[in-house]
Amino acid sequence: CSVTPGEYLSGGGDASSDRYGGFNGVGHVLLSLQDIDLIDILWRQDIDLGAGREVFNYSNRQKESEEEKPSPQDSKEASEEQESWRNGINLQGSAPVDGETGESIPEQFPARVVTSEVAVSNEDVPSTSQGLAAVPAAEPPLDLEQQWQDIMAIMELQAMEVNSTAPLPGSAAGTPESGAAGQFGLPARPTPINQDVSLHQASLPSCSQDFPPPFNPQLDSAGAPQRAPLLRPPSGNSSNVNSTFGATNLTGIFLPPHVNGSASNATAAAAVLADPFGSLLEEAMLDEISLLDLAMEEGFSQAQASQLEDELDSDSGLSLDSSRSPASPSSSETSCSSAASSSSTSATFSEEGAVGYSTDSEVAAAEPEEGAVGGYQPGYSKLCRMSFQDPTQFHGLPQLDGVGHNHTYNLPLASAFPERPELPLAAGKKAARDKQGAKFQPPQDFLDKHSSRDERRARAMKIPFSNDKIINLPVEEFNELLAKHHLSEAQLALIRDIRRRGKNKLAAQNCRKRKLDTIINLEQGVQDLRRDKARLLKEKMEFLRSIRQMKQKMQSLYQEVFAQLRDEEGRPYPPSQYSLQYGADGSVLVTPRGAAAAEQGRKPEKKQKDKKK
């Protein structure tokens, strides 16, 4: 009376004992245990929680990648691909597939609910295929779900074979749990992990190794889980299945270990013990995490790009405003430069020429008084330098208060006339102090020493306004300024050069700051991603641990349920001859094993016994 899981499940809540009361011969006991509810829930999770279609597709792609086969675009291609290893099992039609999981349950089960009593009879659904001779006629045709599950089953086996000896990455030895703690810490420099390898290796061994081999792999499909029907070959064809899948029978994975099994098969069953739903869950999680990694990488690029874009936009805006900002050092520079300019009018010092800078205007302007002072004094340039690695230094500058994320570097070119080069912060404070305090008239040699080349050139050319104005005035005002003064061509050329160089200097500073910010943001993004990666891996390990615990509990429940079963005469069911099948409503059916029993199962008298805890 090996009836397909779907048939028993089809009974659902209606599968009362009277429904199967007409069965004879074999005692069918319907149990209803609270623990069975858990099992049922687990089975439901098998399909609904763990195995999305994308998982199957992804897994299938992996399989295809291994086989170097073109990716199936539809179920037909997938069906053709699996034709070689399905051993001739006929796919007759295809049931509607759940949009999310690809399950065929919706059509399969409701139909059985109505016709279950009839459908289990051979007369109603005669066997039409030799290959399906031993398969109950009511067995629904293998649909896409089954195909995918077949693929998953094979992948599961392959993965277990690989991972049974693969240690968890990051842990030199021991269980994944023991290795997880060290692995998922936040090292100062996290080691990149190959997700495609490490994740699979990290998860599967823990599941396959922690379980005793309770299930007999040789038992036929009667013991197969109903909600996740794997390949269901004829009972008499089990050897064929074994030949196809190697030593491991994918069916009967829930059978107790003491039931009719050789040691080798029991060992093989141990590998399979990671039941289908568990494997599917693991695969699903692994795939999800892998996809998550991909998404993180892609997401990172997008998020970072957005962030960088915002940052750049912010920089750009600030930069544009900075030249006009009150915090801009222009004011201080103006005062200083004005002083310098006024001093220059006294012609108390000679100006050097352009040392190494020979624009036409500069040459024309500066040549006459070349060498009087000794040329360019680079020391002053340091006054204007700002460490853009340490933006906090800006906070100490009163004139920069409120600027916030200001990436400009146009500190006062002659802001403070410090006696000696200072740090930007000190220079800024001194500049503010000088600005607020009494007018400080530096000596001309000091001005000359600490002026920029363009300032010296401007003084040499007797430009009547400050370089700050030259550089920072809007073009209209700048032109008005030029118009107000009667300037020579040489002076005009120098002024335009000063303006061009001054603006470009600021632009270069901003450009470098942006570049630095970009680097800093990217580094921060890398750190964030590494942190997220570690967190996700830790979560994954926790999930796997939880699944393993559920498996253990389910196994114990299975054994407990079987131990409590009694036939009508109060005799226990030999586990070697019977298997348990679970109904969607929490009921449990005891079905005999073997092909003969399967045939008898067409018209058995089944006794269902509710036994709910």
Partner DNA sequence: GACATATGTCATATC
Partner DNA sequence: GTGATATGACATATG
Which spans of this chain sit near DNA (rule: CB under 7 A)?
312, 315-316, 319-320, 323, 355-357, 359, 376-379, 381-382, 384-389, 409, 421, 452-454, 474-475, 478, 497, 499-505, 507-512, 514-515
DSSP output for 293-308: HHHHHHHHHHHHHHHH
Q: Shortest approach of DNA to residue 299 CB, angstroms? A: 23
Helix (H) or strand (E) holding 582: strand 578-582
Residue 7: closest CA among 166, 117, 151:
117
| CA distances to 155, 583, 599 from 255, in Å | 22, 16, 20
Nearer to DNA, 159 or 386 (CB): 386
Q: Shortest approach of DNA to residue 188 CB, angstroms? A: 20
Q: Shortest approach of DNA to residue 55 CB, angstroms? A: 43
Collapsing DSSP to helix, strand or coil, 31 comes out as: strand
Could you give the angle at which helices 144-163 and 195-209 cross, rounded to 10 degrees?
Answer: 90
Nearer to DNA, 41 or 511 (CB): 511
Largest CA-CA distance found in the chain, in angstroms, rounded: 127
Q: Shortest approach of DNA to residue 546 CB, angstroms? A: 49
Q: Shortest approach of DNA to residue 442 CB, angstroms? A: 18
Nearer to DNA, 87 or 323 (CB): 323
In the DSSP assignment, the letter for residue 99 is T
In the DSSP assignment, the letter for residue 604 is B
Nearer to DNA, 43 or 394 (CB): 394
Nearer to DNA, 294 or 508 (CB): 508
In contact, 459 and 451? CB cutoff 8 Å = yes
Nearer to DNA, 79 or 393 (CB): 393
Q: Shortest approach of DNA to residue 452 CB, angstroms? A: 6
Residue 156: closest CA among 292, 290, 277:
277
Nearer to DNA, 191 or 389 (CB): 389
Cα of first residue to Cα of last residue in the chain, in angstroms, is 26
Give the C-alpha separation, 51 to 59, whole Å.
11
List all residues 6 or more positions away from 239 whose beta carbon is below 8 Å from its beta carbon: none
Q: Shortest approach of DNA to residue 414 CB, angstroms? A: 12
Could you give the angle at which helices 34-48 and 489-564 cross, rounded to 10 degrees?
Answer: 140
Q: How many helices (H) and strands (E) does the chain have?
A: 21, 3
Nearer to DNA, 59 or 361 (CB): 361
In contact, 580 and 589? CB cutoff 8 Å = yes
Nearer to DNA, 459 or 593 (CB): 459
Q: Shortest approach of DNA to residue 347 CB, angstroms? A: 23
List all residues 6 or more positions away from 67 whose beta carbon is below 8 Å from its beta carbon: none
Give the C-alpha separation, 239 to 247, whole Å.
9
In contact, 223 and 252? CB cutoff 8 Å = yes
Q: Shortest approach of DNA to residue 302 CB, angstroms? A: 19
Give the C-alpha separation, 463 to 469, whole Å.
11
Q: Shortest approach of DNA to residue 157 CB, angstroms? A: 52
Give the C-alpha separation, 330 to 413, whole Å.
8
Nearer to DNA, 133 or 492 (CB): 492
